[in-house]
Amino acid sequence: MPRTPVLIVGGGPVGLALASELGWRGISCVLIEQGDGTIVTPKMNEVNIRTMEFCRRWRIAEAVHACPFPPDYPLDVVFVTSLSGYELGRMSRPPRMSEKPEPHSPMRLQVCSQMWFDPILQGFARSFPHVCLRYRTRLESFEVSATGVAAKVVDLESGQHERIDADYLVGCDGANSMVRSSLNIELNGETLGHPVHLYFRAPNLLERCGRQPATFFVTVDRNGAWSNVRIIDPLNAMWRLMVLDAGVGSTPETVDRDAYLRRAIGRPIAVEWLGTSVWTRHSVVAERYGGGRIFLAGDAVHQLSPTGALGMNTGIADAVDLGWKLAAMLQGWGQEGLLASYDAERRPIGARNVKLTAEFYGEHGKFDGLAAIEEDSAAGAQVRQRIGESLVSGIGRMFRTAGLQLGYCYEDSPICVPDGTPPRPDDPEDFTPSTRPGSRAPHLWLDDSHSMLDLYGHAFVLLRLGSGAPDASRFEAAAASRRVPLSVITVAKPEAADLYKHRLVLVRPDGHVAWRSDEMPVNPTTIIDKVRGASKIFIQ
């Protein structure tokens, strides 16, 4: 096989997103995946707002919207003693179709199971002739030299061994990453439990339980919050029961799935079983995200409790951050500091998301004094009344995460130019848009269908905002002298100047702010060098 610029190991959603991002940037890559791409028991179900913004940029958002999850299906979260038991609390989340637009984004969170989402990414990556996806191919080992990476792979169908040479190798090879362990990179954190997933088909389950449609049910009985039941595919009546912690040593063969189901539903019910998976809830982040010619992304470097639906979404943001930096190196305008900034920017976000999602999980253990909760008595009513609101405010936190999804900022990034303003509070629930360097550049509708986010992607963008924004020709000349792709865009809309707060804002290809000011800098080349990773100079 001819040498490839980037070899991606792992064709889960993160590897596919990296192949897509590189393909979209015109960079050739080869992705190898040991499986055949089929997803039997999907894990991920919620594609969050930020990932949907990336999908909009890749022009696949419509395909995600068109997935088989009905757009008019209520996304409500309901706290119940069991599906046939008492309702304790409800968070109303209207169907996507009737939802008001997000104030801070052109996109909304989309429920789209991994069994639909991965194939959309696959199809998009495959649409680039310079992207090659090779299934049933496993990485066996690799060696790094000053000039490249030599990988030994095996074709699992034919048994044939092959060598693939690459400029860079990226391990998107999941929780048990062979790439990570080959680099002796440790994971730091804790184990939070041993959940069990039970997948089943049960037509008319909610009607049979006397319930209105909702997407997610948290069950709380006399022993506390112990499971959740989620509809995955309403049209095919496919459900998943997650037992939060079944204890060490459970196996699919030993799990008493009928007993768990009876407890969650509140009575015996016949279902068609579709699959069982036993896993470990980790809350860990790697001590390094790679470096040099080998990088890691996704579950290979962070494993989050799924409380908050952030695992894949965090990994896809890794892929987007790494993608433009690899492209810059391969196109010749990026310098070593750019690749080093991947770890500096993304690892703190991995640690932040790991910590917060563990906190969300911890909310499940905060309820006691529940002995009477299922009783048809005054004492029972009192317990149910007492805990209803605290379930919504506590466990419900994991569904109120606009700040967590959009508010991450690359503090202390070596390729952003700090402007001396203090960090903003990192509130997981509420999102406040900002152009503080390192932040995601804010959204504003420019007309009925175009967002300011649509301006960002292929090149750096220097925005000239408001009346009297300084002439930017010296900045353009500085970028051209370093072959850094830059578009200068004047946005006359007064609301844009109000929102962006400064007259000049430099936005990176990933949509994060690199620099802002009201004045042209004395030497724009210093800024261009900083943002392309060529400078170690601290610029004020």
Ligand X SMILES: Cc1cc2nc3c(=O)[nH]c(=O)nc-3n(C[C@H](O)[C@H](O)[C@H](O)COP(=O)(O)OP(=O)(O)OC[C@H]3O[C@@H](n4cnc5c(N)ncnc54)[C@H](O)[C@@H]3O)c2cc1C
Residues that bind ligand X (CB under 6 A): 9-15, 32-35, 43-46, 138-139, 172-174, 178, 242, 298-299, 306, 309-313, 315
Nearest-approach distance from CB 340 to ligand X, in angstroms: 22
Q: Which is nearer to ligand X, 279 or 454 (CB)?
A: 279
Nearest-approach distance from CB 513 to ligand X, in angstroms: 24
SS3 category, 69? coil
DSSP string for 453-512: GGG-SSSEEEEEESTTPPP-HHHHHHHHHTT--EEEEEE--HHHHHHH-SSEEEE-TTSB
SS3 category, 49? helix
Nearest-approach distance from CB 493 to ligand X, in angstroms: 33
User: Is the Cβ–Cβ distance between 197 and 349 less than 8 Å?
Assistant: no
Q: Which is nearer to ligand X, 306 or 396 (CB)?
A: 306
Nearest-approach distance from CB 444 to ligand X, in angstroms: 26
Nearest-approach distance from CB 180 to ligand X, in angstroms: 10
Q: Which is nearer to ligand X, 301 or 462 (CB)?
A: 301
First to last CA, the chain: 48
Residue 523: CB atoms within 10 Å: 12
Backbone angles phi, psi at 3, to 5 degrees: -55, 140
CB burial of residue 262 (10 Å; 0-12, 13-18, 19+):
middle
Nearest-approach distance from CB 520 to ligand X, in angstroms: 41
Contact partners, residue 283, CB within 8 Å, separation at least 6: 189, 190, 191, 192, 303, 304, 305, 354, 355, 357, 358, 361
Residue 327: CB atoms within 10 Å: 22
Nearest-approach distance from CB 200 to ligand X, in angstroms: 15
Judging by DSSP bridges, how do beta strands 4-9 and 29-33 pair with one another? parallel
Q: Which amino acid is at 257?
A: R
Q: Which is nearer to ligand X, 347 or 530 (CB)?
A: 347
The overall longest dimension of the chain from CA atoms, in Å, is 78
Rg (CA), the chain: 24
Q: Which two tokens stand for residue 207?
A: 């009607």
Nearest-approach distance from CB 420 to ligand X, in angstroms: 35
SS3 category, 387? helix
Q: Which is nearer to ligand X, 182 or 331 (CB)?
A: 182
Nearest-approach distance from CB 206 to ligand X, in angstroms: 21
Q: Which is nearer to ligand X, 43 or 293 (CB)?
A: 43
Nearest-approach distance from CB 20 to ligand X, in angstroms: 12
SS3 category, 163? strand
Q: Which is nearer to ligand X, 153 or 416 (CB)?
A: 153
Q: Which is nearer to ligand X, 85 or 195 (CB)?
A: 195
Q: Which is nearer to ligand X, 135 or 424 (CB)?
A: 135
Q: How far is residue 92's CA from residue 78's CA, in Å, rounded to a whole number?
A: 8
Contact partners, residue 376, CB within 8 Å, separation at least 6: none
Q: Which is nearer to ligand X, 106 or 308 (CB)?
A: 308
Backbone angles phi, psi at 360, to 5 degrees: -60, -40
